Structure 1
């Protein structure tokens, strides 16, 4: 098989940048929601500090 010099990164850079930006924004929104007062004490929150039983 012969290797053809096909450009890949140059035409795809807007999609790669958009994907990285979307990933960052979704991760930031998720982190902010986990720290919001509404969801802070939810037992499904993985960052919730469990209260020790007396």
Structure 2
């Protein structure tokens, strides 16, 4: 018998959602790689709006 809609055993939350969590991790990884390759591209390497321009300038000197 349910008391105020609560069951005797808790409803699983993580177990049925694991594919979505894995897909979210893969998506975040791929977006990060795409953004990093875009920032390092020749078109945006010397752009003053690039937040990584100083770091890329140091790397290109070596």
Bucket of the pairwise TM-score, normalised by the shorter protein: 0.7 to 0.9
TM norm structure 1? 0.78
Structure 2: segments with no counterpart, 5+ residues? 58-62
Name the structure 2 match of 1:40. Answer: 45
Q: Count matched residues.
A: 50
Deviation at 1:7, TM superposition (A): 0.6
Measured against aligned partners, the alpha-carbon deviations of 1:15-47 in whole angstroms (never above 9, x if no partner) come to 111111100100111011111111101111001
Say yes or no: does 1:19 pair with 2:38.
Answer: no
- TM-score of the two chains, using structure 2 as the length reference: 0.69
Displacement, 1:11? 0.6
Following TM superposition, the consecutive aligned residue runs of length 4 or more in structure 1 with deviations greater than 3 angstroms are 1-4
Helix, strand or coil for the counterpart of 1:38?
coil
